[in-house]
Amino acid sequence: MSEAYVGWADDIGPVFLTQEQIQRRVAELGAQITRDYAGLDLVTVGVLKGVIFFITDLVRAIHMPVTMDFLDIARYGRTEQVRGVVRLTKDLTEPLSGRHVLFVEDIIDTGLTSHYILGILRHHGPASLRVCVLLNRPARRIVDIDLAYVGFEVPDVYLVGYGLDYRERYRNLPYLVQFERPKMREKSGESPN
């Protein structure tokens, strides 16, 4: 763990993925996406806020012209991860009709929220629509999502860092760590990410 983050040692658990592992995989994904979309009009779409670190690094690793856009959603209730009840709070600004869209996610577990967002994106009439996810957690999957690009398969553990948060904290860690405060999670009824 970097000295800059040593003061958080009581809040966070062991490093799950290092900054170097993440950046190496993002570079590999960027190279693959560059090959697959060469000569096409590519638009990346992410959901604020968790994806911001991943999508920024990914777009820099894509060596061709690419456009970025963002959606924002609000979740309802304490069981949103189980029920996937969301509403759109920020819509797209880029037109997607006839363009090749890459939906970029930080983590997909149940698939409910991603399924909802993919429905919104399909409504815009893209020429193609594929999904790139940094962390795929299939153990919690309820709705199948076709994933074109996967950074890492992860187990059912709570992770923070590199955009993932706990109550809006820890997003700025440059690596991913296990979050080990089970008493807090038990009290709030929260499940992993």
Q: Which of 109, 118, 159 is nearest to 138 (CA)?
A: 109
SS (H, E, C) 39-107: CCCEEEEEECCCCHHHHHHHHHHCCCCEEEEEEEEEECCCCHHHHCCEEEEECCCCCCCCCEEEEEEEE
List 57, 106, 109, 165, catalytic entry: 109
What are the C-alpha distances in Å from 173 to residues 1, 17, 134, 178?
10, 11, 15, 12
Active site residue 165: no
Ramachandran area for residue 167 (φ above 0: left; ψ -120 to 50: alpha; else beta):
left
As a whole number of angstroms, the distance between CA 25 and CA 22 comes to 5
Please report the sign of the dihedral spanned by the C-alpha atoms of residue 149, residue 99, residue 129, residue 104: positive
- Supply the residues annotated as catalytic: 109
